Structure formats: structure tokens, C-alpha cells
Structure 1
Amino acid sequence: MAHEQHAEMIKILHDCAEACNHCFDACLKEDDVKMMVDCIRLDRECADICAYLEHAITRNSPFVSELAKACAAICEACGTECQKHDHDHCQRCAEACMKCAEACRNAA
């Protein structure tokens, strides 16, 4: 996977990581942070794997397919958790995660 050929995938990954980081930060400011623990944890996992896969694509890693499979699973888990919460940041994050999960499945 040469990174020039996968600009859209890189953008989806970047957008998902950004949405997860925003959601993570916003969740920490919610009144009931304890209720947001799973969301916060998955936001971190998702942002990290998206950033890692983005870097792997740009350096033409031989493990892109395997990483994309893992990324799809983590993005889906994060999106599912975020969908449980009514906060705008969670809903936007869920959308980005589900879009990224689909793109990762296609890339794998």
C-alpha cells in the first residue's frame, strides 16, 4: 500500500483519531466521569491504533493488512460504546469510528 494511493484512507484514519481525542478530552469534563470510563478508554485505544495505522501506511509497512483488521475491531468497539452516550462529542466520535472501521475492513 503506497501512501500516495491511499490518501483517503489516511484522511479517514486521521479524522477518526482526531474525533477520538476530542471525545476523550470532552468525556473527562463530563459531570459523571465515572459513567464515561469505558468510552474514555476506548477513545484512547482507537486514537492510538488509527495513528499507528496511518504511520504504517505512510512507511509502506508489510503489516498494514493485519493492523487494519485490528484497527477495524477497535474502531467498531469504540463506536459502539460512543453510541450509548447522548453527548454530541460521543455521537460525532461514533460516526467517525464506524466510517473508519468500514474503511479498515476494506483495506484488510
Structure 2
Amino acid sequence: MENHDHTNLIQKLLACVAACENCATACLNEDDVKPMVRCISLDRDCADLCSQAARLLERKSEIAHQYLLLCEEICRMCAEECGMHGHDHCQICADACRQCAEACHMHHERINQD
């Protein structure tokens, strides 16, 4: 892995983690949680994957850039789901996820399988 400064990417990843965690918690507090189940599930997955991506980048892991491909995918899925809900926390989360997906897209590498 090349030696790049990933400060901005890591900040986007961690902002996405925070937005997803906030969204999941807020969704659980909605009067009708049932329509929010997929949103909560994707929020939690996205937060976990983005958090792991940030750790991999911090430790300069050999697979960090390949891992960003998966991270981009979950961010796009989460943004699409959150974008369908009118709650402010969902819209904030969708925006953070879109920004994170774009940042991951700019830095990811294909997965090599020999």
C-alpha cells in the first residue's frame, strides 16, 4: 500500500460512523419503529464497516484500500435507505453516507484473488 495521508478520508469515515449511530438510535425512538427496521440494520452495518475501515487505514493495513470497496457499497446502500425516510436524522445520515461513499470510491483498489 502506498504511503498516503488519509486524514480527510478517515474523517469522512468517522463522520459517517457518528451519523449512522445517531440515526439508528433516533430510529429506535420513533413512534413506529417497524418501517425503520432496514434503516436501523443498515445504519449499524455501515457504522461497523466504516469504523473498521478507519482502523485499517490508521494502521496502514495491506488490505485497507481493498476494504474500501466494501465500505463504499454499504455506504451507498445506507444512503439510499435513509434517503427514503423524511426524518432529519435519516437525511443527515444519507448525506454523510453519500460523502463517505464518494471518498471511499476515490481511494479503493480492486480485490486481488490469485
TM-score for both structures, normalised by structure 1: 0.96
The letter for the 1-side match of 2:101 is: A
Between structures 1 and 2, the one with greater helix share: 1
1:2 deviates by: 4.4
- Work out which of the two has the higher radius of gyration on C-alpha atoms and give 1 or 2: 2
The letter for the 2-side match of 1:40 is: I
The letter for the 1-side match of 2:13 is: L
**Corresponding pairs, count:** 107
Runs of at least 5 residues in structure 1 that lack an aligned partner in the other structure: none
**Identical aligned residues as a percent:** 47
Instruction: Map 1:1-108 to 2 at 5 A.
Output: 2=3, 5-108=5-108
Point out 4+ residue stretches in structure 1 off by more than 3 angstroms. Answer: none
TM-score for both structures, normalised by structure 2: 0.91
Distance 1:2 1:71 in 2: 20
When the two chains are superposed, the root-mean-square deviation of aligned CA atoms in Å is: 1.0
Runs of at least 5 residues in structure 2 that lack an aligned partner in the other structure: 109-114
Distance 1:85 1:2 in 2: 40
